């Protein structure tokens, strides 16, 4: 009895129970399940409202305490190198598996007969991208507070870097300001702890909506693509990220167990942003230096979306195969080159990968954009795989870069993963 009571008090068990209840509601009472989406959205919004100030505070305090500005530049360079290598590996793996498993072969879909009106909103969103120049200008906020109002992660990071560098240059004079920001950040993390008590409700509502809205029939009809994506993401996590963790020198299984609450919440909500504050706190607790956590993890949400990279290549090839669009070697190299750019624009919110896919297909005339209609019904299920992969990938990236930069307290990390240090 004591074991049951102890397990029921664990957040991951509560989240798992909430998801199972949500699946049952969505299956038995589909209409009721579909109406629960506002609850899942509300939980994500509660977390998102704290992201900008938490990221700002963490990065500012980390850089101010780092002292040497060369360390900031070195850390940023290492992060970008790591992100580009892992993202490219994810894209290549997705492309290879899509060609090997042929998930869209034999569907013989006539692209002209597809009703593309359902994806007009996605295409409109994708069309507002404006290219690289627009993306770079978008990193600069219109005003200081505007970055926080809009909730743009890259804009907040830019402001954080500038303020952190300014405070670092002021030395001891800025110490009271740095201490005040750090105190405020601690208060925000306590608020996150309060909100996380609602995680089982948010995850359960998300699953109820998914099953109630799209049903299980959609899963069976496009099961080949789903199976291919889930197998590929599992392979990437186990093999590629497993090799990175061997470089770090920590047990990958123990680390996955350490962040199991966050994995289950992301699985239920399809949003990695929902667990960002909690994940930052856990990585710091493991012994990752605060500047590394503050800079690498939020930046990785935009530049290191491994799961989304796999999804983008597989979905692109799937649509080509389903519509009998022939793709030669050069065509696939072009697709890979385009995706190396467009994949960097996906955020940690649910559905961002679908918008990025629309933007990608718009630049490749050979593949009909109307083929996106084929993915609408299962995108939520595809999103679960890519979101969880993104979460684990960015967590491992933070540990790897901290290890590479000599900013990881490995003995403490090992002790935390063994459960010898209380979370």
Task: Set out the domains of the chain in order of their start, with CATH numbers.
Answer: 2-417 (1.10.3860.10)
| Six-digit token string for 304 | 């290191």
CA 57 → CA 163, 188, 274, 299, distances in Å?
10, 10, 18, 15
Q: What pLDDT shows up at residue 411?
A: 93
Task: Please provide the DSSP assignment of 26-77 as one string.
Answer: HHH-HHHHHTTHHHHHHHHHHHHHHHHHHHHHHHHHHHHHH--HHHHHHHHH
What is the reported pLDDT for 351? 52
Tell me the two tokens of residue 411. Answer: 């003995």
Q: What integer pLDDT is reported at residue 216 of this predicted model?
A: 65
393, containing H or E segment: helix 379-404
What single string gives the DSSP state of each residue in 397-419?
A: HHHHHHHHTT-B-HHHHHHHHTT
Residue 249 main-chain phi, psi, to 5 deg: 90, 25
Structure tokens at 170: 């002021």
Q: How is residue 19 written in tokens?
A: 């998801």
Instruction: For the chain, give the number of residues.
Output: 423
Give first-to-last CA distance, the chain, whole Å.
24
pLDDT at 128: 52
What's the CA gap between 246 and 238, in Å, rounded? Answer: 11
Give the pLDDT score at 353. 63
> What pLDDT does residue 286 have?
92
Please give the average pLDDT of every successive group of 10 residues along the chain, which has 423 residues: 57 78 86 85 79 79 69 81 91 91 76 56 52 69 82 77 83 84 84 82 81 67 81 95 94 94 85 83 90 83 84 88 82 80 56 65 72 70 86 94 91 90 70
> What integer pLDDT is reported at residue 258 of this predicted model?
94
Phi and psi at 371, nearest 5°, equal -65, -15
At residue 349, the pLDDT reads: 47
């Amino acid at each position: 009895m004591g074991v049951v009571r102890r397990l029921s008090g664990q957040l991951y068990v509560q989240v798992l129970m909430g998801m199972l209840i949500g699946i049952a509601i969505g299956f038995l009472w589909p209409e009721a399940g579909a109406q629960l989406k506002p609850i899942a959205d509300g939980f994500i919004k509660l977390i998102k409202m704290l992201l900008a100030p938490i990221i700002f505070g963490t990065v500012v305090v980390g850089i101010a305490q780092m002292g040497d500005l060369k360390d900031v530049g070195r850390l940023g360079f290492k992060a970008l190198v790591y992100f580009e290598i892992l993202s490219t590996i994810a894209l290549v793996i997705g492309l290879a598996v899509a060609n090997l498993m042929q998930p869209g072969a034999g569907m013989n879909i006539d692209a002209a007969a597809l009703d593309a009106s359902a994806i007009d909103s996605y295409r409109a969103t994708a069309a507002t991208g404006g290219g690289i120049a627009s993306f770079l200008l978008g990193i600069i906020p219109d005003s200081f507070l505007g970055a926080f109002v809009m909730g743009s992660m890259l804009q907040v990071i830019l402001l954080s870097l500038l303020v952190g560098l300014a405070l670092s240059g002021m030395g001891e004079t800025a110490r009271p300001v740095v201490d005040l920001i750090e105190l405020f950040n601690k208060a925000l993390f306590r608020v996150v702890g309060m909100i996380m008590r609602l995680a089982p409700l948010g995850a359960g509502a998300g699953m109820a909506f998914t099953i109630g809205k799209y049903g299980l029939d959609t899963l069976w009809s496009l099961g080949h693509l789903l199976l291919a994506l889930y197998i590929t993401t599992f392979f990437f996590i186990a093999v590629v990220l497993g090799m990175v963790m061997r470089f770090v020198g920590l047990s990958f299984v123990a680390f996955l167990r350490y962040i199991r609450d966050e994995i289950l919440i992301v699985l239920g909500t399809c949003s990695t942003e929902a667990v960002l504050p909690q994940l930052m706190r856990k990585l710091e607790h493991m012994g990752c230096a605060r500047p590394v956590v503050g800079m690498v993890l939020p930046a990785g949400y935009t530049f290191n979306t491994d799961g989304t990279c796999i999804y983008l290549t597989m979905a692109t090839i799937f649509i080509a195969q389903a519509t009998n669009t022939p793709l030669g070697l050069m065509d696939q190299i072009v697709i890979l080159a385009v995706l190396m750019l467009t994949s960097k624009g996906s955020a940690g919110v649910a559905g961002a990968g679908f918008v990025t896919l629309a933007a990608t297909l718009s630049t490749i005339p050979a593949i009909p954009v109307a083929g996106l209609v084929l993915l609408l019904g299962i995108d939520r299920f595809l999103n679960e795989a890519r979101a969880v992969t993104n979460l684990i990938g960015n967590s491992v990236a933070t540990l790897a870069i901290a290890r590479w930069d000599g900013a990881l307290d490995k003995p403490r990390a090992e002790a935390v993963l063994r459960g010898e240090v209380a979370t």
